[in-house]
Amino acid sequence: MSANRYDVIVIGAGHNGLVTASYLAKAGQKVLVLEAGEQMGGAAQTREFAKGYRTSAVAHILHALHPKVIADLGLEGHGLRATQHRIGTSAMLPGGGRLDITDDKAATQASINRFSPADALAWHPRMERLVRLAGALGSFLMKTPPSPSPAANDFQTKLALGMFAVQLRLMGKKDMLELSRILTINVADLANDFFESDVIKGMLGLEATLGVYLGPRSPNTVFNLLYRLASLSQKHGQGGFYLPQGGMGAVVDALAKAATSAGVTIRTQAPVDHILIEKDAAVGVVLANGEECRAPVVASSADPQRTLLHLVQPGNLDTEFLRRMRHLRMNGCVAKVHLALDALPDVFRQAQGRMVVAPSTNYVEHAFDCAKYGRVSDNPALEIVIPTLTDPSLAPSGKHVASILCQYAPYKLRETTQDEARSQVLERTLNVLEQIAPGVRNQVAASEVLTPHDLEATFNLSGGQWHQGEVTLDQVFFLRPAASFQQYRMPLPGLWLCGAGAHPGGNVSGAAGANAAREILKDLKKTASKGAA
């Protein structure tokens, strides 16, 4: 076998690409991973944004990494400390005041009680029920989505579907009815049904819309909330929010070690120009420098649009399929703001680690209205973490880093230029921060803003969409990335999708990569047995 021939080529060394590569290598395949950037990790890396200041470049909280992936790949043996720094959530109110949600039930209740005694009583039962409902959906994270046409499913998929049905029944009639009622409603209505205080409604509104181009009053947003909650159960995720030691890059380092020790070859700064196609099938890739690498299986962890509209050259796929890919909703709407702080305001220190600024439903809805008309939100909703509180090594001694998600900063701007958008994001984020921690503006030593456009340019995420396609009801499960192609196999023979653009979607979970590897192996086994016969 020549040097450039492999069993499997994985495009992209994001966390999903590394997971797929590791699973396949552990099963004895010769795997090559090709990464365009200098650094591995894709959207899950640690980045130095100012001299001496580092932070997780895109995703900054670990909550969804699937326990099965950790166990299967032995990530803890490769240095992963996923659950070292558990954090709670504080809803910060502009002008002062906050509400704390932590593991301590009594303290949480007491905190809510200051805003609404009724909500203090309602909080735990309501949220526990939601997590229970989310759990029913969560069990499908590590499964291949079935087809609604029964004949199209293999035995394993049928079994999974059957188990899912059984699980729904076990939920009991009341929960099942509740799930069918709330699955498609909007989070503003749900919050109104359950709670009375603005601060809780606003917080839920942000949780349900973070990363999707929808507002709290848009239907189907409760689904997003459940999707998020699913990963907060021990079974389907980490059971809480964690700040990874060393930033998200540390997770990728563990994954890379696992991959390398399984025999995977990883090449960085090796951007793929296009997928090599012979006789209407993928047979390898051509790098930007013209070099050819060949393998009968090409698994792309790049997003579906990048993979199928750009890496596959025109004239190799069918019209309706491509049209579906072009119309994927991938309108990124979150900007990332990194601040280097000379000193940390006390309010940040006292909060529970993860701070959200979304004081009411209308606050978030107004923020969304701006995005609707192609503008950066006048008053953005924020999610803030201070990674240096748990890992001081990320900044020079005594200094701090704030890592902030700013919603909404739409990818599709109308009358704003990219440069204007970037400065608006920073300015408006600081305005909001100033209302929470007066004087913080003066502590900012350096800053970086990554708008969806920057995310696209830096991390090859089409539309700057974090999840490689919004995780909404019409783009999940057997509709992800497109109907009939939900089982990781793309219409071009030999080409597979193994990134978040496939089921079950985004977050640093590794589930898509693991599922794709399982399907690829199934297929290889079939081909092998056919060859033997």
Q: How many residues does the chain have?
A: 533
Alpha carbon 32 to its chain's center: 24
> Of these, 72, 369, 434, 523, which contacts another protein (CB under 8 A)?
369
- Segment (H or E) for 92: strand 86-92
Q: How far apart are the C-alpha atoms of 85 and 72, rounded to whole Å?
A: 23
> Of these, 79, 83, 109, 189, which contacts another protein (CB under 8 A)?
189
| Nearest residue (CB) to another protein, 173 versus 530 | 173
Q: How far apart are the C-alpha atoms of 190 and 201, rounded to whole Å?
A: 9
Q: How far apart are the C-alpha atoms of 235 and 81, rounded to whole Å?
A: 18
Contact 70, 80 (CB under 8 A): yes
Q: How far apart are the C-alpha atoms of 317 and 42, rounded to whole Å?
A: 27
The reply on whether position 474 binds another protein by CB under 8 A is: yes
| Nearest residue (CB) to another protein, 61 versus 409 | 409
Stretch that binds another protein, among 10-18, 103-111, 185-193, 337-345 (CB under 8 A): 185-193
The reply on whether position 342 binds another protein by CB under 8 A is: no
The reply on whether position 218 binds another protein by CB under 8 A is: yes
The reply on whether position 528 binds another protein by CB under 8 A is: no
The reply on whether position 529 binds another protein by CB under 8 A is: no
105-113 and 117-138 helices, crossing angle to 10°? 130
Peptide bond into 408 cis (omega under 30): yes
Q: With CB under 8 A as the rule, give the number of residues binding another protein.
A: 52
Site mask for another protein (CB under 8 A), range 108-147, x = bound = ---------------------------------------x
| Nearest residue (CB) to another protein, 97 versus 219 | 219
Peptide bond into 396 cis (omega under 30): no
Q: Kindly give the residue spans of alpha helices, DSSP state H, lying in 195-345.
A: 198-209, 221-230, 248-261, 304-305, 319-326
Which residues, numbered 482-521, are part of the site for another protein (CB under 8 A)? 483-484, 491
Lookup result for tokens 């990219």: 418
Stretch that binds another protein, among 80-88, 91-99, 177-185, 380-388 (CB under 8 A): 177-185
Q: Kindly give the residue spans of alpha helices, DSSP state H, lying in 464-510.
A: none
Which residues, numbered 265-324, are part of the site for another protein (CB under 8 A)? 280, 309, 313-323
The reply on whether position 526 binds another protein by CB under 8 A is: no
Residue 152 Ramachandran class (φ > 0 left, ψ -120 to 50 alpha, else beta): alpha
Q: What minimum distance in Å lies between the beta carbon of 162 and another protein?
A: 14
Q: How far apart are the C-alpha atoms of 207 and 69, rounded to whole Å?
A: 25
The reply on whether position 479 binds another protein by CB under 8 A is: yes
The reply on whether position 416 binds another protein by CB under 8 A is: no
| Nearest residue (CB) to another protein, 107 versus 473 | 473
Residues that bind another protein (CB under 8 A): 147-149, 152, 169, 173-174, 176-178, 180-185, 189, 193, 214, 217-220, 280, 309, 313-323, 326-327, 329, 362, 365, 369, 372-373, 472-474, 478-479, 483-484, 491
